[in-house]
């Protein structure tokens, strides 16, 4: 399959890109700093420019987007706006714009995260963004009515990210990026829609 992958250079993205390539897929690897396929999903015009270049697709996967962390009182409107525009509206806009050039039966797989369902300190923006994204995936997948499939992968903290985020997740078992990547493979190659894969 020809797959557009946004966020392909990241911790999760690197593993997903490897897993999809190992399965024989033709992966268009995009991210903000990419030389060949640059895109910033928080900017709808940049998404449009990328899709124009990329052409017809069988699937889109996204492992991009970020949310600010901090005590809830300190997460101001600018912090909320950045998290919403990047991880929530960025991924939704990617699907909205890509759907017309994705073949019937093709799929979209987005990235969520455990903070949407488990509480941690400093994670209030991420909790709201992940929760909203998962609700949108369920609603939009139902509306797609079988023409396209739409799922999200919701990982716990990654083993590879423990040095960066481990202190936010005391007592949480971690997951290897390679295992998270298999959920993306399952979503792309399987038949599920409206699913949130908790890994
Ligand atoms: N790491 C974890 O433990 C963990 C656990 C659960 C969920 N998640 C979620 O998984 C996602 C990826 O996490 P990660 O740890 O793999 O992050 P990461 O290592 O920082 O990688 C992020 C990737 O997305 C790209 N990117 C970031 N913002 C972008 C934007 N606005 N437009 C296009 N590309 C963008 C980055 O490349 P450029 O900088 O070049 O754009 C990079 O390829 C995040 O949404 C995070 O919340 C992570």
**Whole-model pTM?**
0.98
What φ, ψ does residue 20 adopt, rounded to 5°? -70, -40
Q: What is the reported pLDDT for 78? A: 98
pLDDT digit string, tens, across residues 123-146: 999 999 999 999 999 999 999 998
Q: Which residue ranges form the domains of the chain, and what is each CATH number? A: 2-198 (3.40.50.720)
Per-residue pLDDT reduced to its tens digit, 89-117: 999 999 999 999 999 999 999 999 999 99
pLDDT at 65: 96
- CA 6/CA 128 separation, integer angstroms: 22
14 CA → ligand 1 middle, Å: 10
160 Cβ neighbours under 8 A, 6+ residues apart:
11, 176, 177
Question: Of 104, 6, 100, 119, which Cα lies nearest the Cα of 60?
Answer: 6
**pLDDT tens track for 142-158:** 999 989 999 999 999 99
CA-atom Rg of the chain in angstroms: 16
Give the number of residues written for the chain: 199
pLDDT the model gives residue 35: 97
Nearest CA among 174, 162, 197, 177 for reference residue 15: 177
> Mutation test of ligand 1: which of 4, 8, 11 has the most ligand atoms closer than 8 Å to its C-beta?
11
């Amino acid at each position: 399959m020809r797959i557009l992958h946004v966020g392909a250079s990241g911790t999760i993205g690197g593993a997903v890109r490897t897993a999809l390539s190992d399965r024989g897929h033709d992966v268009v690897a995009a991210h903000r700093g990419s030389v060949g396929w640059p895109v910033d999903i928080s900017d709808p015009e940049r998404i449009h420019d990328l899709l124009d270049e990329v052409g017809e697709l069988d699937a889109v996967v996204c492992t991009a987007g970020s949310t600010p962390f901090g005590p809830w009182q300190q997460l101001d409107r600018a912090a909320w706006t950045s998290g919403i525009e990047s991880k929530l509206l960025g991924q939704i806009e990617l699907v909205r714009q890509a759907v017309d050039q994705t073949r019937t039966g093709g799929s979209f797989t987005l990235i969520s995260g455990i903070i949407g369902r488990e509480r941690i300190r400093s994670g209030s923006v991420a909790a709201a963004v992940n929760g909203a994204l998962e609700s949108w995936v369920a609603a939009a997948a139902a509306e797609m009515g079988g023409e396209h499939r739409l799922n999200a992968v919701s990982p716990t903290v990654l083993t590879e990210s423990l040095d960066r985020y481990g202190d936010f997740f005391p007592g949480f078992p971690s997951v290897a990026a390679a295992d998270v990547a298999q959920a993306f493979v399952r979503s792309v190659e399987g038949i599920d829609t409206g699913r949130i894969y908790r890994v």
